[in-house]
Amino acid sequence: MNDFFSELKRRNVYKVAVAYAVVGWLMVQVTTQVFPIFEIPNWALRLIVLAIIVGFPIALVMAWAFELTPEGIKRTEDVDLTQTRKKPLAWIYIVVVGSVVSIGLLFLGRYVTGNATPRHDASPARTEATTVSTVPQKSIAVLPFENLSDDKNAAYFADGIQDEILTKLASIADLKVISRTSTAKYKSKPEDLKTVSQQLGVANVLEGSVQKAGDKMRVNVQLPNA
């Protein structure tokens, strides 16, 4: 085992692992701060994180098998590693720079988030304008459907309609859909629809009702722009 770990050190596997971890963390921080600005969907960020995780063992294998020399990339067995270590501290510079940039992005994200919070002394008109401008137009909340039937057992059908609509809407990549848990406290056809939309952070609200008459079921749905 001692020979194995010595070989890992000789082939720069440790250095590549540390440098890759720092660069990967830096990429995650950059995408986390930049993607929301351009309204890039969350699945793109998850895809990048997955690619970084999958690429880690590949980078270690490449570091074990190959060596970067002034003549180009060669197999480690064909290179005298004692003569190629002219800049042993170069990887440390990468780690230090990556760490500094990562910490800077972290504090920048917290600073931007703190400034985005409305101040208590702001005027109502300015606060309302700020809130409306930050709400994405491609956003929707599905409120609980109201059961208008005399049969109270039909309430499960109303919940099923809401779940089915949420499932269909969630499959649209560019659409922000509020979860059922967040809308559970709101009733269908609220009196102050504008306040509800601001609290949920959406531009559109879907509301409706379900009524059973004999062997038929009537579903009424409205999609007002809040």
Tell me the pTM.
0.41
Residue pair 81/67 in contact by the 8 Å Cβ criterion: yes
Residue pair 188/146 in contact by the 8 Å Cβ criterion: yes
Residue pair 206/165 in contact by the 8 Å Cβ criterion: yes
pLDDT above 70 covers a percentage of the chain that reads 73
Residue pair 161/148 in contact by the 8 Å Cβ criterion: no
The label of the residue with tokens 């306040």 reads 195
Phi, psi of 123 (to 5 degrees): -70, 150
Q: How far is CA 183 from CA 41, 153, 193, 200, 204, in A?
A: 22, 21, 13, 8, 13
DSSP 87-124: -TTHHHHHHHHHHHHHHHHHHHHHHHHHHHSPPTTS-H
What tokens appear for 197 in the block?
């939309």
At residue 83, the pLDDT reads 53
At residue 133, the pLDDT reads 55
Residue pair 11/67 in contact by the 8 Å Cβ criterion: yes
Distance CA 140, CA 226 (A): 10
**Collapsing DSSP states into helix, strand and coil, what is residue 107?**
helix
The label of the residue with tokens 């990887």 reads 91
pLDDT digits (tens, 9 = 90+) for 11-33: 778 888 888 888 888 888 778 77
Residue pair 160/193 in contact by the 8 Å Cβ criterion: no
Distance CA 176, CA 128 (A): 21
What's the average model confidence in pLDDT over 144-153?
81
Across 55-59, 155-159, 204-208, 222-226, least confident range: 155-159
What residues contact residue 204 under an 8 Å CB cut-off, 6+ apart?
Answer: 139, 140, 141, 197, 223, 224, 225, 226
The label of the residue with tokens 């720092």 reads 22
